[in-house]
């Protein structure tokens, strides 16, 4: 069942919790200042669990220097089980051991926020923020929505406190690697960093998009998808990946009539629509049939290894567009709330430029374009050309060695 409105996470709830926890941050900061940091100890964490850029970096660091002590800080029993299966040392991030490890580590790597590890023991560490994607939508200090406090917004002191808390926290980041030069000013602004802290080393999470031949990437991704998605073998895979609306209703959810049309289209074209909502928006997508399959992160934690197995991507404001573009496949954009989203959350890039000048208002428009791409070679070629242009914009490094570059940079920083 989807979570109740009271149970849904929003920026306002998260920010209110941050303000309430300020005394714990202060105590933790004092405690951690008296612990000597060990440059040979690195700790890792991710809101996605043992996946994404943090796991890629850990593996690269282990290859480069097997003598490093690399510890994953887990958030639950399932993550602890997976760490054991991967042969990794682990500890509960919110335990006393998690605090001590975070306070002692020379390097701390996170993918979402400081809560990926023990957030109260960060002072003095070299912190690598492996942000989970190249931003299309505005982040952190750049976004009014991200700084929201809900009913507390009317208090200027509270708004100032949360803005300063964001900036004071993110200034501690030592390295935020990005995939291309275009993203450097966005990350500097969002996280209040200097360009020397935001380096175009490539995102470790995207290495899988560039390793091996295109045919090999395609085969590996299809094997993974077909193993986890019933009924996909031999059928076209269309991936729908909407972004999160901060607890507001998702305007991209099809109506019952549109679900029936989706089923009919997929039946006629031997396709499967794979729906991959944001982890906080899974409950909005309840339709299921042999033509529509839900593949949330709880089923397939990482999206990057899937992308070469997808024939067409449908999204809105997700950074996945920049990554899927590497495959050269066509993309469709569904943005029924563009004006509202741009005014409340904000976008870094011009949406017509990203989309090639076309986006749809509803699923009827999406299905019309899918039918057009099947019938019109010129329309398909234009869509593929837009993907190629986005890939060139969004990825400087295409050698599959981003994690290695980041690991070597961190080794150089901690050795100096």
Which residues contact residue 326 at a Cβ distance below 8 angstroms, ignoring those fewer than 6 apart? 206, 209, 210, 307, 391, 395, 398
Q: Within the chain, what is the greatest distance between any pair of CA atoms?
A: 67
Q: Dihedral sign, CA of 104, 106, 111, 112?
A: positive
CB-CB neighbours of 296 under 10 Å: 16
Let me know: does 184 contact 178? Beta carbons within 8 Å.
Answer: yes
Q: Which two tokens stand for residue 175?
A: 């390295």
Q: What is the mean pLDDT of each run of 10 residues along the chain (416 residues)?
A: 44 56 59 82 94 96 98 96 97 96 97 94 95 92 68 59 66 95 96 95 98 97 96 97 86 96 98 89 82 91 95 96 98 96 93 96 98 97 97 98 98 91
Specify the CATH number of the domain 11-206+399-415: 3.40.50.11820
Q: 335-373 as b/e, with b when 16 or more CB fall inside 10 Å?
A: bbbbeebeebbbbbbebeebbbeebbeebeebbebbeeb
Angstrom distance (rounded) from CA 372 to CA 376: 6
Q: Report the pLDDT value the prediction gives residue 6, as an integer from 0 to 100.
A: 38
212-394, which class in CATH?
alpha beta
3-state secondary structure of 40: strand
Let me know: does 288 contact 252? Beta carbons within 8 Å.
Answer: no
Tell me the sheet residues that pair with 237.
Answer: 272
Find how far residue 84's CA is from the centre of its chain. Answer: 24
Q: Report the pLDDT value the prediction gives residue 286, as an integer from 0 to 100.
A: 86
Domain ranges across the chain: 11-206+399-415, 212-394
């Amino acid at each position: 069942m989807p979570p109740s409105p009271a149970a849904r996470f929003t920026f306002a709830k998260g920010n209110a919790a941050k303000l309430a926890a300020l005394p714990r941050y202060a105590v933790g900061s004092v405690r951690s200042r008296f612990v000597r940091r060990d440059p040979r100890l690195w700790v890792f964490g991710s809101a996605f669990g043992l996946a994404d850029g943090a796991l890629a970096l850990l593996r690269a660091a282990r290859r480069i220097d097997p003598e490093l002590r690399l510890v994953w800080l887990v958030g639950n029993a399932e993550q602890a089980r997976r760490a054991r299966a991967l042969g990794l040392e682990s500890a509960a991030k919110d335990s006393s051991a998690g605090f001590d490890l975070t306070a002692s580590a020379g390097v701390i790597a996170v993918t979402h926020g400081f809560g990926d590890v023990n957030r109260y023991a960060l002072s003095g560490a070299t912190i690598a923020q492996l942000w989970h994607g190249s931003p299309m939508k505005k982040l952190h200090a750049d976004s009014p929505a991200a700084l929201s406090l809900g009913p507390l917004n009317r208090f200027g002191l509270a708004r100032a406190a949360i803005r300063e808390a964001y900036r004071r926290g993110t200034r501690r980041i030592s390295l935020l690697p990005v995939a291309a030069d275009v993203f450097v000013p966005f990350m500097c602004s969002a996280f209040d960093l200097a360009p020397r802290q935001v380096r175009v080393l490539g995102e470790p999470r995207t290495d899988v998009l560039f390793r091996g031949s295109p045919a090999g990437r395609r085969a590996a991704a299809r094997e993974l998808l077909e193993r986890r998605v019933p009924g996909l073998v031999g059928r076209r895979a269309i991936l729908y990946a909407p972004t999160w609306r901060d607890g507001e209703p998702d305007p991209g959810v099809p109506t019952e009539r549109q679900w029936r049309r989706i089923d009919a289209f997929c039946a006629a074209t031997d396709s499967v629509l794979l729906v991959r909502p944001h982890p906080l928006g899974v409950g909005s997508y309840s339709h299921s049939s042999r033509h529509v399959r839900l593949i949330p992160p709880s089923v397939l934690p990482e999206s990057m290894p899937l992308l070469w197995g997808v024939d067409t991507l449908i999204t809105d404001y997700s950074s996945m567009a920049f990554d899927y573009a590497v495959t050269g496949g066509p993309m469709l954009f569904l943005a029924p709330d563009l004006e509202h989203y741009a005014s409340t959350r904000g976008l870094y890039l011009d949406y017509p430029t990203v989309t090639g000048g076309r986006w749809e208002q509803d699923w009827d428009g999406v299905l019309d374009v899918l039918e057009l791409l099947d019938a019109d070679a010129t329309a398909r070629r234009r869509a593929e050309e837009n993907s190629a242009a986005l890939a060139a914009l969004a990825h400087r490094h295409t050698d599959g060695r981003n994690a290695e570059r980041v690991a070597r940079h961190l080794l150089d920083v901690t050795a100096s």
